């Protein structure tokens, strides 16, 4: 039936871009939007909120589909990724690239509807988020490029409302950069041997697993420190600090369940704990702003 075929195709594309992983950056984008709306604007614009969410979705769809397209030959020979949509021939490589281009254009169009500054900065955002896909071929710092891409979310949402930069969203963005870079280093442990054999760059390849995990821990300590600084700068109250406490606990708990010689629970650390941490912290922080 046509309806079932359409539904299956939508599901394939949602799987291609790992739509469920939107929970990493979207809550922080909503925090940046709420911070700007409550502290600066004073009134909620539903149109602007919808545009900010669409920008997040379009940018992420463009970046993830481009990543899958750029890595298609690598994914074919990596046992962990061989069943992804492109190497498994569920989605054609041209279709994936076209999907990326369409979403990139939709992202630019959405920023044009927001304000001139967001529109002018949209190519920079796309350069970072799409460029990440190529970085592991020449630098071990690819984790930080990914972190920078997601770190654009709170500042970008703040700019959408105010049209200007400010310290608090900038500090929150730095915390997101450190947080994402840290958990991506943990995730990269899974491909340590494969990356070495295929001359791909990563922190685990460069430093070894033990030191990579230590760097990840240091990045997550820095994340907590930066969010403490944001809380003090923003004069947040009790609910924010409770949320930060839960967020920090989940961040550090993942370092107790992933060992350099035991990677069985990497996915629990990567997706479940970090996804919950992002949602919980943002809900508590936004609630604190509202109260």
- Alpha-helix residue ranges (DSSP H) falling in the chain: 2-16, 26-36, 46-70, 72-77, 93-114, 116-135, 142-162, 167-188, 192-197, 203-207, 209-233, 238-257, 266-267, 274-290
Say what the pLDDT of residue 288 is. 96
Say what the pLDDT of residue 65 is. 96
Instruction: Give the whole-angstrom CA distance, residue 184 versus residue 237.
Output: 31
Q: Establish how many alpha carbons lie within 13 A of residue 66's alpha carbon, considering only the half-sphere containing its beta carbon.
A: 21
Say what the pLDDT of residue 257 is. 92
Say what the pLDDT of residue 43 is. 81
Low-confidence ranges of the chain (pLDDT < 70): 1-4, 41
Residue 150's closest CA among 285, 32, 269, 289? Answer: 32
Say what the pLDDT of residue 271 is. 80
Say what the pLDDT of residue 286 is. 96
Say what the pLDDT of residue 22 is. 85
- Cβ contact 129:63 at 8 Å: yes
DSSP 8-class letter at 81: T
Say what the pLDDT of residue 3 is. 64
| Residue 50: how many other CB atoms lie within 10 Å | 12
| 44: alpha, beta or left? (left if phi > 0; alpha if psi -120 to 50) | beta
The CA-based diameter of the chain, rounded to the nearest angstrom, is 57
Instruction: Give the whole-angstrom CA distance, residue 254 versus residue 182.
Output: 11
> Which residue segments constitute the domains of the chain, with CATH numbers given?
2-290 (1.10.357.140)
* 93-114 helix and 46-70 helix, angle to the nearest 10 degrees: 150
Say what the pLDDT of residue 218 is. 98
């Amino acid at each position: 039936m046509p309806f079932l075929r359409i539904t299956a195709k939508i599901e394939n594309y949602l799987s291609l871009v790992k739509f469920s992983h939107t929970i990493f950056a979207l809550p922080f984008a909503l925090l940046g939007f709420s911070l700007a709306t409550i502290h600066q604007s004073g009134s909620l614009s539903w149109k602007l909120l919808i545009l900010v969410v669409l920008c997040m979705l379009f940018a992420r769809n463009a970046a993830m589909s481009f990543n899958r397209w750029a890595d298609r030959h690598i994914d074919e020979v990596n046992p962990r990724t061989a069943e992804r949509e492109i190497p498994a021939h569920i989605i054609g490589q041209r279709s994936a690239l076209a999907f990326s281009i369409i979403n990139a254009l939709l992202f630019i169009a959405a920023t044009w509807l927001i304000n001139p500054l967001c529109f002018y900065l949209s190519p920079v955002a796309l350069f970072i988020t799409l460029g990440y896909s190529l970085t592991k071929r020449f630098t071990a710092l690819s984790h930080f490029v990914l972190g920078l891409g997601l770190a654009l979310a709170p500042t970008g949402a703040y700019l959408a409302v105010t049209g200007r930069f400010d310290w608090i969203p900038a500090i929150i963005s730095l915390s997101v950069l450190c947080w994402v870079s840290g958990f991506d280093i943990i995730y990269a442990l899974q491909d340590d041997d494969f990356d070495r054999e295929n001359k791909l760059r990563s922190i685990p390849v460069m430093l070894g697993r033990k030191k990579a995990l230590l760097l990840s821990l240091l990045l997550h300590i820095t994340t907590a420190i930066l969010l403490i600084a944001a809380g003090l700068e923003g004069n947040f109250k009790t609910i924010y600090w409770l949320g930060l406490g839960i967020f920090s606990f989940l961040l550090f708990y993942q370092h107790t369940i992933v060992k350099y010689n035991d990677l069985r629970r990497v996915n629990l650390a990567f997706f479940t704990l970090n996804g919950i941490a992002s949602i919980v912290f943002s809900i508590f922080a936004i609630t604190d702003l509202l109260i």
